[in-house]
Amino acid sequence: MEMTDKLDFLLKVAKEAAVSSGKILKEGFRTSFKINNKPGIHNLVTEYDFKSEKNIIGLIKNNFPSHCILSEECGIKKSEDEDVCWIIDPLDGTVNFAHGIPVFGINVAVKEKDEIILGVTYQPLTDELFIGIKGLGATLNGQPIKVSATKKLKDAIVGTGFPYNLHENPNRCIERFFSIAKLGIPIRRLGAACIDFAYLASGRYDAFWETNLGPWDCAAGKVILEEAGGKITNWQGKPFLLQEKNQVIATNGLIHSEIEKVFKQYDH
């Protein structure tokens, strides 16, 4: 894919949306704000989720009024051009944000027909802007990034997350976690899938897995990771297709089959 004028404009708006919303979140972080509960245990939404969302959607609609938008808080906003859909998470890591924990970010992705053509993840407090463009590579603050070269799971550092209905143990996620934990390797649980994907794409992690992720959690990360040379599948090792709820095994590609093998025993 070449950088066309259309793609360049899409990227410009996506970057502006992420960075400007990052400023909003930085201003609100560790201040007093309203917090509400969504279904699930400790599944929070703050007024800054909505402020960030309003800002992003406003920028998209001002520049691409015919495009569809799928956002975590307001759901789907259909429009006349259903071939192009923006998939956004205005604040990934809301629980962290609400508790003053400095690990959260923003996802903005563009899907054309069935293909995610670009993704932007912004971590405001570190001012790190991760970008992936289909066929054109991945960058961090303008510099190319690539996944790690770790070849064995026993040598890896990995990330994971848990669903809000963990008490129901969906997809036997607790058993799968213990199977990885018993290997004795470092496991990180940051509480923001967008950061997990970004850290994997930039070689800080070697793998990441989670279940019940929303499309807004995965869309930007998928293209950033793949353009950095990584691999993403579902828990059965099948091609990753964006759905309402997503299982994810994401790796540097070199240790993917080992994690699949660990997980396979729980597929029945």
Q: Does 3.30.540.10 match the CATH number of domain 5-144?
A: yes
Model confidence pLDDT, tens digit, residues 221-258: 999 999 999 999 999 899 999 988 899 999 999 999 99
What is the per-residue pLDDT across 155-204, written as a single tens digit (0 to 9) for each? 999 999 998 889 999 889 999 999 999 999 999 999 999 999 999 999 99
Selected from 3.40.50.720, 3.40.190.80, 3.30.428.10, 2.60.40.10, the CATH number assigned to the domain covering 153-264 reads: 3.40.190.80
- What stretches of 64-204 show up as alpha helix (H) in DSSP? 94-98, 173-181, 193-201
Evaluate whether 138 touches 230 at the Cβ level (below 8 Å). no
Condensed to tens digits (0 to 9), the pLDDT of residues 96-131 reads 999 999 999 999 999 999 899 999 999 999 999 999
Global pTM value: 0.94
For the chain, what are the domain ranges? 5-144, 153-264
Q: What angle do CA 202, 177, 265 make, to 5 degrees?
A: 110
3-state secondary structure of 99: coil
Which is it for strands 67-71 and 81-92: parallel, antiparallel or unpaired?
parallel
Are the beta carbons of 183 and 153 closer than 8 angstroms?
yes
Distance CA 64, CA 204 (A): 35
